[in-house]
Amino acid sequence: MPAVPKALVTIANNKLKLQVSSTGRFVCTLGTGVEHSVDVPGQLIPMPVTGPWRLSFPAGWGAPPSVGLVNLISWSAHPDNGVKHFSGTARYSTTMLFPDTVDYRGPADLNFLLDLGRVAVMAKVYLNGKLVGTCWKPPFVLDVTPFIHAGHNTLDIDVANLWINRLIGDESLPEDCERAPDGHLLSWPKWLQEGKPSPTGRLTFTTWQLWHKTDMLHESGLLGPVQLIPVRSVTI
């Protein structure tokens, strides 16, 4: 099911509004049983945002400074182990071309929605250097009408995942503390008490062994597909 519905009825200024992401004839049946037929002319064509993407990572968490992506994939599927096991927030950057032929000024009856598709697990969107908003659950859709302009637009998306993948990755490294057979901590390690990094190169520390190196990694990052969707509002 697409994140943006083809038709949605809302109320604005005591008037019923039909918001559509496709054109044609729509028949709305009210609770009273009265039907209203609405014709939406023209074309409403989604515009894919295909990249390529530059994915940048913060220093000190095992990943390279940045990698290039032709297609969107889960971090867990990347060949670089630093990317594969990264946990935290990384930034996707690309440039998208918004045609001069499209009315980018956003009249009252036409808005543009940025649909991120699938995200694991949260996203914060910036368009042309301005914060658009944060998405923390599906649908990962934001109205970018006030931020977009004709020509080239810079798009930055900060995506945060869960801690799991880094914990699993660290389990491939030697143990850096004393644990009981069931995985619970027997004593606080000296390196931690002294505020030093783990001597074995681990980046995480828990008082209980929650994950193992053979556990399956979780999907992470911007999975898409990303597209810009025009939506028209018509008074019923």
Across the range 35-41, mean pLDDT stands at 72
176-199 residue pLDDT tens: 999 999 999 999 999 999 999 999
CA angle (17, 20, 21) in 5-degree steps:
155
Does residue 80 share a domain with residue 51? yes
Does residue 124 share a domain with residue 71? yes
Domain span at 147? 47-163+218-231
Cα separation of 113 and 92, whole Å? 18
Q: How many domains does the chain have?
A: 2
pLDDT recorded at residue 1:
37
Q: Do the domain assignments include residue 12?
A: no
Does residue 154 share a domain with residue 55? yes
What pTM was estimated for this model as a whole? 0.86
Q: Residues of 77-110 as b/e, b for ≥16 C-beta within 10 angstroms?
A: ebeeeebbbbbbebbbbbebebeeeeebebeeeb
Does residue 158 share a domain with residue 51? yes
Residue 163 three-state SS: coil
Contact 102/151 with Cβ under 8 angstroms?
Answer: no
Q: Give me the chain's average pLDDT, please.
A: 88
Does residue 97 share a domain with residue 66? yes
Does residue 116 share a domain with residue 226? yes
Contact 150/197 with Cβ under 8 angstroms?
Answer: no
Does residue 115 share a domain with residue 182? no
92-134 residue pLDDT tens: 999 998 887 665 444 457 788 999 999 999 999 999 999 999 9
Does residue 178 share a domain with residue 134? no
Does residue 159 share a domain with residue 60? yes
Q: Do the domain assignments include residue 9?
A: no
Structure tokens at 119: 């995200």
Q: What percent of the chain has pLDDT over 70?
A: 86
Residue 205 three-state SS: coil
Of 141, 133, 146, nearest to 2 by C-alpha is: 141
Contact 97/152 with Cβ under 8 angstroms?
Answer: yes
213-235 residue pLDDT tens: 999 999 999 999 999 988 877 77
